[in-house]
Amino acid sequence: MIQKALQHKGYLISGFLFILLIIILSLSYALKDEQSTSIDKTIDEKKPVKVGILFDNYVVERWTSDRDAFEKAINDSKENITVTSKSANSDIKIQIEQLNKFIDDNYNIIAIVPIDPKQLASSVKKAKEKGITVISYDRLLTGCGCDLYLSFDNKKVGTLMGNSVKKLDIPNKKVIMLSGPDTDYNANLVNKGFKEVLNENNIEIIDEKHIENWDYDLALEYINNNLNKVNKANVIMCGNDTIARRVIESLASNNIKDKYIPKANFSFLYIGNHHI
């Protein structure tokens, strides 16, 4: 089940990047339909279209893979497009500075994996006023009217995770949730889908912690400081791969043996301590 979900996730990411590439190529060729936008923009075909992509960080392997695949696709297209990718190292102040620099340098298209959508809103509005196309990539930019939001069906992701818990062949399932920040629209949708499945199947959530700013060290800190709760649980739901890695490290350092170790990265961790 989990391996199939991972393969499916890989297909989704590939399609995700392909769609984004097609969108950018389309924007580089044509004027926007005046009926679908209030901004009339013309791109001089003699000048390269400047595309900027702002990532949260490069610690998460998914983002470096996306960056490399996207830059390669742009370069292989042999179109008159230049692409610049930057990481903010999970620092919203740095991401705001990077976004403002792209705006000042007159980029035509900016795709953003937002760290904190609310704090980016004023800069995104500035970009829109300047006629720059803004794409909200994977996480939703709110309150600023971006041109496009491209993401997964995040509630469905949570449902799939919940179904994985439901199918575990263990009695009296007890779950700890270490999810993404409550300011992250996607994380909230994942949680909604996950909780719906658990509630429908009377599976107990004994604790829930939002990992602010996706700071995976907070997951390690949680485990170390809540061993009494961890020892009562047999399932830990993790909001992303790096959080799951920190949880695994912390369980190992506290000599909590898990009977199920995943062979690939995924955002759901089953620990089997004394309940099996």
User: Does domain 19-150 fall into CATH 3.40.50.2300?
Assistant: yes
pLDDT of residue 28: 54
Domains 19-150 and 154-270 share a fold: yes
**Which CATH number describes the domain made up of 154-270?**
3.40.50.2300
Segment holding 150, helix H or strand E: strand 148-150
Q: Whose CA is closest to 157, among 198, 190, 182, 192?
A: 190
d(CA 147, CA 88): 22
pLDDT of residue 4: 36
Domain extents for the chain? 19-150, 154-270
User: CA 50, 53, 54, 57: dihedral to nearest 10 degrees?
Assistant: -140
pLDDT of residue 256: 77
Give the number of other CB atoms < 10 A from CB of residue 265.
15
Segment holding 22, helix H or strand E: helix 2-29
CA distances to 118, 142, 151 from 183, rounded to whole Å, are: 9, 10, 16
pLDDT digits (tens, 9 = 90+) for 35-73: 344 434 444 456 788 999 999 999 888 889 889 988 888
Residues of the chain with pLDDT under 50: 1-15, 30-44, 259-268, 270-276
d(CA 170, CA 156): 24
Taking phi over 0 as left and psi of -120 to 50 as alpha, with beta for the rest, 253 belongs to alpha
d(CA 17, CA 8): 14
Please tell me the pTM assigned to this model. 0.72
8 Å CB contact between 138 and 151: yes
8 Å CB contact between 251 and 232: no
Q: Tally the residues of the chain.
A: 276
